[in-house]
Amino acid sequence: SGLKKYFPIKAGLLGRTVGQVKAVDDISFTINKGETFGLVGESGSGKSTVGRTILRLNDKTDGEVRFDGIDLFDLPQDELRRLRPKMQLIFQDPYSSLNPRVRIGDAIGEALLDHGLASPAEVRDRVLDVLAACGLSSYHYDRFPHEFSGGQRQRIGIARALVLNPDLIIADEPVSALDVSIQAQIINLFRGMQQKQGLTYLFISHDLSVVEHLCSHIGVMYLGSMMETASRDELFRNPLHPYTKALLSAVPVPIPKLKRERIVLSGELPNPANPPSGCKFHTRCPFAVPRCREEVPQFREVGSGHKVACHLV
Ligand code: SF4
Ligand code: MG
């Protein structure tokens, strides 16, 4: 709620602060239990910073993050530590966070022991269970990270998160590095896990077509601001923000009857350290009017659960 995360820009030998990047600039959204919220936008839009700030992996500048009613930034460190297993992060490439010298089974079991969630005698069985749930087997338990393919490594990343029995998983571009055929398998794995365990996901992706298959609700970010949020069906049927329409223009439509207005984005994402005035999208928006340069559009509800920030809507 009203979440802000600004990073200082430092310059010179003394590291003097010369400005700030408003990576997350007053963002609000809700994810209901058991739902999947897809956070979409170009790289540099602040999606990953939202994910990391929710997990309190970095400090906030302002706003609140409530998990099951508790403001996470109000929690003392020891209580936060107790909650940690309930909120897990999955990255694009889990390989970078795996120790090359530690066998996969031990790497997955480590977290269980760290958090005191299993005794040393129980760990192996718990890890074998979660490996099986992720489409791997006892054969993989004693292998090292380099022995796995990209898709298998993502299964390991998922297994490592799942073994802690979380309620919320924040998955940051978890399939972006994978071939399309493997992407589908991993997305199906995410979906299966959700059905079995009632998991809640925040699924971060630059790719709307990936989000479409998994998410019940979608938020579209641009330069640190939320431009539009709606249920998946509503967003695909009735996109209102010009930026959302542009992103949808790039997604292939299976049924020609559903042909959408085509909006092709011109220009690059502006420098986040120096975003455009007024509506941050005005430098690339084909519908911009003079007002858009001066006045920040309010993010407001325009239909049941459908919110948008645009002067023309
Ligand atoms: Fe385009 Fe103006 Fe709407 Fe921004 S407020 S999206 S510039 S029409
Ligand atoms: Mg990112």
Decide whether any atom of ligand 1 lies within 6 Å of the 282 Cβ. yes
Say if CB 152 and CB 134 are below 8 A apart: no
Q: What is the dihedral of CA 234, 238, 240, 244, to 10 degrees?
A: 80
Decide whether any atom of ligand 1 lies within 6 Å of the 278 Cβ. no
**Cα distance between residue 162 and residue 87, in whole Å:** 10
**What is the CATH code of the structural domain delimited by 3-308?**
3.40.50.300
Mean per-residue pLDDT for 244-270?
Answer: 76
Single-letter amino acid code for the residue at 257: K
Q: What is the average pLDDT score of the chain?
A: 92
Residue 280 neighbours by CB under 8 Å, 6+ apart:
222, 223, 224, 225, 270
Decide whether any atom of ligand 1 lies within 6 Å of the 311 Cβ. yes
259 dihedral zone (left: phi>0; alpha: psi -120 to 50; beta): beta
Neighbour tally for 266: CB within 10 Å: 10
* pTM of the full structure: 0.92
Decide whether any atom of ligand 1 lies within 6 Å of the 297 Cβ. yes
For residue 225, pLDDT over 70 is answered with yes
Q: What is the pLDDT of residue 98?
A: 86
Helical spans, DSSP H, in the chain: 47-54, 77-83, 104-114, 120-133, 138-141, 150-162, 180-197, 208-214, 232-237, 242-249, 290-294
Query: Residue 181 C-alpha to ligand 1 middle, in angstroms?
Result: 37
| Ligand lying nearest the CA atom of residue 246 | 1
Phi, psi of 249 (to 5 degrees): -60, -30
Neighbour tally for 73: CB within 10 Å: 15
- Which helix (H) or strand (E) segment holds residue 25: the answer is strand 16-27
Per-residue confidence at 85, pLDDT binned at 50, 70, 90?
Answer: very high
The full set of domain ranges for the chain reads 3-308
User: Which atom in ligand 1 lies closest to the alpha carbon of residue 313?
Assistant: 3
Query: Residue 47 C-alpha to ligand 2 middle, in angstroms?
Result: 6
Per-residue model confidence as pLDDT tens digits over 10-22: 888 888 888 899 9
Ligand 1 mutation target, pool 289, 291, 293, 298, most atoms within 8 A of CB: 289
Decide whether any atom of ligand 1 lies within 6 Å of the 279 Cβ. yes
C-alpha distances in Å from residue 125, one per residue of 33, 101, 200: 28, 22, 25
For residue 226, pLDDT over 90 is answered with yes
Query: Residue 220 C-alpha to ligand 1 middle, in angstroms?
Result: 14
Q: Of the candidates 56, 55, 29, 32, which has an alpha carbon nearest to the alpha carbon of residue 41?
A: 29
For residue 258, pLDDT over 60 is answered with no
Decide whether any atom of ligand 1 lies within 6 Å of the 119 Cβ. no
Query: Residue 281 C-alpha to ligand 1 middle, in angstroms?
Result: 6
Query: Residue 294 C-alpha to ligand 2 middle, in angstroms?
Result: 29
